[in-house]
Structure 1
Amino acid sequence: MIKHTLKKTTACTVLAAGLILAPMEVSAESVAVSPTRLNVPNKGQQTTLTVKAGGKQASVVQLRVVKWDGRDPDNISPTRDVVVSPPMANLRPRQELTVRVLRTKKRAVRGKECYRVLVDRLPGKEQSGQAVKLQVRHSVPLCFTS
């Protein structure tokens, strides 16, 4: 009974959102990230990540690294133990960017250290008027192991 009610409620919410947003323009250019998981084994201190802009317009991406407990994707905290370069980029349509991910912490990894690389595609100036501006985020797991 609860599952049936939940399905009905979810369907009604999606339908209502569609009706409300129907007259508005919705725009979200795509950004692809690969790989979708980063594992750096034995004494490794760096790796790379590829970000590719899709769509027909330029994309602005912001990259950050946060500490992660390795289980709950929402349990994150700021860190300076791992950095990315570049932290921000302007990408032309279909342009690929190789991002360096570097562990700056001097102490050796004991067991497993986990982080998340956050790649945010920021809303651009091309979305104007009554457009709904969407921020797209990729959250890529990153683990260093000993």
Structure 2
Amino acid sequence: MNLARLTLALMGALLFGGAQAHAESLQVQPALVDVVAPGAASTITLRNDGQTPSNVQIRVFRWSQADGQESLLPTQDVVASPPGATLQPGADYVVRIVRVAKRPIASEEAYRLLVDELPDASRAKTGTVRLLVRHSIPVFFSSPERTPPAVDWTVSKQDGRLIVSAHNKGSTRLRVSALSLRDAGGHKISFGGGLVGYALGQSTMRWTAPAGGRKFAAKGSISIAGQGGQGNDGAIEATAPVVAAP
């Protein structure tokens, strides 16, 4: 499963013209699960802030990055208990996340917990499009001996777009947000103030800048700035060479 397909196809609602769209209020806390060995379990809390019961499905996938792309694969190493639930309005529901694999953790294992709201045909109404919700929660199981992120950055140009590559030689993920690029001529591109993504340990991840980069230098180096760290802390300040497109 490619992460680019994780977002539900809500644009289909536009096909209904004047139909009204309603989304349920499914909340998930926390937004990230991080368990350090010898710990092997944690919990999340689901809450239905809507007015009617909501059925949800809860699944865990192994999360990896290769050649700048992310993928999710089925796993039996980590399970969610229970794998599904009916959430009553205004009620909290606790789900356990358990690593059942017996092998020791070498550094850091990355997973994604998907919490999907399921459709209920009995509540469908004519002229109304009900938007289903999906939450994708990062889950990490780590060794106390894990090494911190150590990222080499590069930038390339392809069809007028800038592509930023982060090669993480450390064993711990780097969370990247508020990313921006500036070349020697003062041209700047921002990825916005929010989360850009993660560079997982011992992996390479690539992101394409949201705006055109035709004015950016095709050679030399580019300054990279942003916020990073395992959580939301730490500044990213790096200089990246401009390389051939991947």
TM-score range, shorter chain: 0.7 to 0.9
Inter-CA distance 98–22: structure 2 relative to 1 (3 Å threshold): same
CA contact (8 A) 2:13 2:21 kept: no
Amino acid aligned to 1:52:
R
Aligned counterpart, 2:34: 39
CA contact (8 A) 1:54 1:94 kept: yes
Higher Rg of the two aligned structures = 2
Inter-CA distance 73–104: structure 2 relative to 1 (3 Å threshold): farther
TM-fit CA distance, 1:42: 2.1
Pick the structure with more helix per residue.
1
Once the two structures are superposed, what CA deviation does each residue of 1:37-90 show, in whole Å capped at 9, x if it has no partner? 000012211000000011111101110000002697951111111111111111
Give the unaligned 5+ runs of structure 2: 1-11, 144-246
TM-fit CA distance, 1:133: 3.1
Inter-CA distance 56–128: structure 2 relative to 1 (3 Å threshold): same
Q: Which structure ranks higher in relative contact order (CA pairs < 8 Å, sequence separation ≥ 6)? A: 1
Pick the structure with more strand per residue.
2
> Is 1:132 the counterpart of 2:136 in the alignment?
no
Inter-CA distance 60–119: structure 2 relative to 1 (3 Å threshold): same
Question: What TM-score results when the alignment is normalised by the length of structure 2?
Answer: 0.49
Aligned counterpart, 1:106: 102
> Is 1:82 the counterpart of 2:78 in the alignment?
yes
Question: What TM-score results when the alignment is normalised by the length of structure 1?
Answer: 0.80
TM-fit CA distance, 1:18: 8.5
Q: Output aligned runs, 1:1-146, within 5 Å.
A: 21=16, 23-69=18-64, 74-124=70-120, 125-146=122-143
SS in 1 for 2:62: strand
SS in 2 for 1:69: strand
72-81 vs 84-93, greater mean Cα deviation: 72-81
Amino acid aligned to 2:63:
W
- The CA RMSD over aligned residues, in Å, is 2.3
118-127 vs 69-78, greater mean Cα deviation: 69-78
